[in-house]
Amino acid sequence: MQAIADKQGIKHYLVNLTVNGDEYSPVIKGNTLLVNLLRDELDLTGTKKGCEMGDCGSCTVLLDGRPVDACLVLALEADGREVTTIEGVAQHGELDRLQRSFADNAAVQCGYCTPGMILSAKALLTRNPHPTEPEVRAAIAGNLCRCTGYVNIVKAVLDAADGESISETAAECALDDASSCEEVTA
Amino acid sequence: MYLPDFDYYAPETLQEVTALLAELGPSAKPIAGGTDILVKMKSGVVTPSALVSLKNLHELRPIRWDDDRGLVIGALATHNEIRDSPVVQQHFLSLSEAAHKLANNQVRNRGTIGGNLVNAIPSADLPPLLIALGAQVTMVGPNGSRTVPLESFFTGVSCCVLEPEGEIVTEIVIPPQDTTGSTYIKFGLRKSGALAVVGVAAAVTMDDAVIRDARVCLGAVYIVPVRATQAEQLVIGKTWTDDLLEQAGRIAVGCCLPISDIRASAEYRRDLVRIFTHRALKTAITQGHV
């Protein structure tokens, strides 16, 4: 890994990572956390900061498709890997089925936990398209909602899962183009 | 919350990692999943001058079954990889279940079994079951490798036998055994993301209704995970009954020395040990899966 020392002797490293499909090569200090790289350097402020100790899940992002707390990942450890933030969930300006379902089910109160909730749920539905309610609850157990709006959040995830089960074609095209999906499922 | 400055290295081989750690001295720390050390660095408990990343040691990730050695788990296997591993589920389903009881999904995707052991907190979830299953830990340092039983790996709160200069855990091995049932029962203040207030693991070998062998290990009730040896001795060789297991629970209370803290009082923990020892033994005996 390429490193350059500044005047104070502190090293800066070149890191290559993909965020929401775009390649970035920022030069960062070793102590840069992934959450701070995303928010401060790449201006992707949809990823929230809560406890910053790995308890609350506000900063959840997908690292190679798996939910992780971005407050507990060194940005350097994401070198060569793929990161998905909440900004990468909607495609072509159309909300993802899961985001639509959160809106339809009033699963958002203050909204601070929502990006993390959506990404945890997204990872679950990718791996397990038809989860049971306990599976949904287990998948979002690392995301705390201080408004305690869990009932509607769980409902929204289950609804989005049901939507995907309507037709396999619909689920497949949802990956490419959310708008044409509605025609298929209608 | 920001981290202090440190140098960062990501060597390509195990040899380079141990050599670099030895060269940099004890102020350099290895980092695997980072879910413990980064929290400690944020709160100022540790302030390493350098972090040596283990992320390129791909050979320490796989989980495999070896007919002679048993279940071989690479130290960098994450908790979710252990939970989801078909090999683990086939041979030691209880370990897959125990891995799911730890922290939350995000942490389980980063945290590793090696890190869980080296962090050496008394409430760690994997050690009681691993000890009950007779696991061995292999460490590699600049002077070669050595293997110790996990039972003698921990030396105190956040302390273990690992040499601070260059030694890292590489493998955890659970030997082949005729254990007929095992389980880990945890009491936390929440279902997810909570440390164990008490955790009890039991592994038994049954001849029909007779307990041929039993191992019980208690977590979060002493400075290290501790075997309830007297309780084991009570039940070995006897036909199991609820009364016998209840008595074993009462004896297990004498094997631990819990503290009172923000999560529970010592009295409450002792009571949990009594009930959970009974319950863990019964589950291991009746449920049957290893």
Interface residue of B53, B104, B107 to substitute, partner A, most A CBs within 10 Å: B104
Tell me which of A40, A56, A88 is where a domain ends: A88
Backbone phi, then psi, for A37, in 5-degree steps? -60, -45
Q: Is residue A175 scored above 60 in pLDDT?
A: no
Is pLDDT at A181 greater than 60 in this prediction? no
Mark whether A148 and A170 lie in a shared domain.
yes
Is there a contact between B111 and B36 (Cβ–Cβ < 8 Å)?
yes
A72 and A28, same domain (yes or no): yes
Tell whether the torsion through CA atoms of B245, B246, B250 and B253 is positive or negative.
positive
Structure tokens at B248: 């074993």
Q: How close does chain A come to B135, measured CA to CA in Å?
A: 28
Query: pLDDT digits over B145-184, tens only?
Result: 999 999 999 999 999 999 988 999 999 999 999 999 999 9
Task: Please check whether residues A77 and A109 belong to one and the same domain.
Answer: no
Please state, as a whole number, how many other Cβ atoms lie within 10 Å of the Cβ of residue A75: 24
| Full set of structural domains in chain B with CATH | 7-53 (3.30.43.10), 60-174 (3.30.465.10), 181-287 (3.30.390.50)
- Structure confidence at residue B15 (pLDDT): 96
Q: What is the pLDDT of residue B215?
A: 98
Nearest to B106 among A13, A54, A138 (CB): A54
In 3-state terms, chain A is what percent helix, strand and coil (to 5)? 45, 15, 40
Average pLDDT value for residue range B20-44: 96
Q: What is the CATH number of the domain that holds A148?
A: 1.10.150.120
For residue A154, what are the domain limits? Answer: 97-181
Cα dist from B134 to B86, B97, B213, whole Å = 21, 17, 12
Same domain, A71 and A107: no
Query: How buried is residue A6: exposed, middle or buried, by Cβ count under 10 Å (0-12/13-18/19+)?
Result: exposed
Best residue in B39, B45, B105, B119 for a mutation probing chain A (most A CBs within 10 Å): B105
Q: Confidence band (pLDDT; 50, 70, 90) for A168?
A: very low
Could you tell me if A165 and A114 lie in one domain?
Answer: yes
Q: Name chain B contacts of A69, Cβ cutoff 8 Å.
A: 35, 106-107, 110
Q: What distances in angstroms separate CA B104 from CA A123, B59, B79, B184, B191, one per listed residue?
A: 14, 26, 10, 17, 9
- As a whole number of angstroms, the distance between CA B127 and CA B174 comes to 12
Q: Which of A39, A49, A38, A27 is nearest to A83 (CA)?
A: A38
pLDDT in tens, A28-84: 999 999 999 999 999 999 999 999 999 999 999 999 999 999 999 999 999 999 999
Is the domain of A79 the same as that of A152? no
CA neighbor of A135 nearest in space, from A114, A115, A157: A157
Say which CATH number the domain at A66 has.
Answer: 3.10.20.30
Shared-domain flag, residues A7 and A82: yes
How confident is residue A164, by pLDDT bands cut at 50, 70 and 90?
low
Checking if the pLDDT of A171 tops 60, the result is no
User: Do the chains contact at B193 and A76, CB–CB below 8 Å?
Assistant: no
Domain count within chain A: 2
Residue B219: band (very low, low, confident or very high) from pLDDT cuts 50, 70, 90? very high
pLDDT class of A139 with cuts at 50, 70, 90 = very high
A71 and B10 within 8 Å at the Cβ level: the answer is no
Report the DSSP beta bridge partners of residue B156: B159
User: Is A186 inside any structural domain?
Assistant: no
DSSP sequence for B161-223? S--TTT-EEEEEEE------EEEEEEEESSSSS--EEEEEEEEEEEETTEEEEEEEEEESSSS
* Residue in B5, B31, B105 nearest the CB of A141: B105
Contact residues, chain B, for A29 at CB < 8 Å: 5
The CA-CA-CA angle for residues B248, B272, B100, to 5°, reads 105
Chain B within 8 Å of A50 (Cβ-Cβ)? no
A32 and A109, same domain (yes or no): no
Q: How far is CA A82 from CA A22, A64, A94, in A?
A: 9, 5, 22
Q: Are A139 and A120 in contact (CB under 8 A)?
A: yes
Q: Are residues A12 and A68 in the same domain?
A: yes
**Tokens at A186, concatenated:** 């209608």
| Total Cβ atoms within 10 A of residue A138 | 17
User: A152 with A80, same domain?
Assistant: no
Domain assignment present for residue A71? The answer is yes
Measured CA to CA in angstroms, residue B130 lies from A103, B5, B84, B133 at distances of 45, 36, 17, 5
Out of A10, A69, A73, closest to residue B5 by CB = A10
- Using a pLDDT cut of 90, give the percent of chain A over it: 84
Percent of chain B with pLDDT over 90: 96
pLDDT in tens, B146-156: 999 999 999 99
CA-to-CA distance for A151 and A131, rounded, in angstroms?
16
H-helix or E-strand containing B7?
strand B7-9
pLDDT value of position A170: 42
Statement to judge: residues A102 and A177 lie in one domain: yes
Q: How confident is the model at residue B192 (pLDDT cuts 50, 70, 90)?
A: confident
Report helix, strand or coil for A100. helix
| Closest of B76, B101, B94, B126 to residue B283, by C-alpha | B94
Q: Which two tokens stand for residue A87?
A: 């900004």
Torsion on CA atoms B149, B105, A176, A34, rounded to nearest 10 = -90
Residues of chain B whose beta carbon is less than 8 angstroms from a beta carbon of chain A are: 1-8, 10, 31, 34-35, 38-39, 42, 51, 53, 55, 80, 103-107, 109-110, 191-193
Q: What angle do CA B183, B189, B193 make, to 5 degrees?
A: 80
**Residue of A16, A68, A122 to mutate when probing chain B, most B C-beta within 10 A:** A68
Strand, helix or coil for residue A23: strand
In this prediction, does ipTM exceed 0.90? yes
pLDDT digit string, tens, across residues A93-132 = 999 999 999 999 999 999 999 999 999 999 999 999 999 9
Q: Is A149 on the interface with B (CB under 8 A)?
A: no
Please give the helix or strand (H or E) that residue A82 lies within, else none: strand A82-84
| DSSP class of A88 | G
pLDDT over threshold 80, residue B218? yes
Please count the other Cβ atoms lying within 10 Å of the Cβ belonging to residue A110: 10
Final residue of a domain: which of A88, A123, A153?
A88
In the three-class reduction of DSSP (H, G, I as helix; E, B as strand; rest coil), residue A54 is classed as coil
Question: Which residue from A minimizes the CA distance to B48?
Answer: A31
Q: What is the per-residue burial (b if ≥16 Cβ within 10 Å, else e) of B228-237?
A: beebbebbee
pLDDT tens digits for range B88-131? 999 999 999 999 999 999 999 999 999 999 999 999 999 999 99
Give the chain B residue nearest A37 (alpha carbons).
B2
Do A83 and A121 belong to one domain? no
Report yes or no: A74 at the B interface, CB cutoff 8 Å.
yes
Residue A16 in any domain: the answer is yes
Domain boundary residue among A61, A88, A115? A88
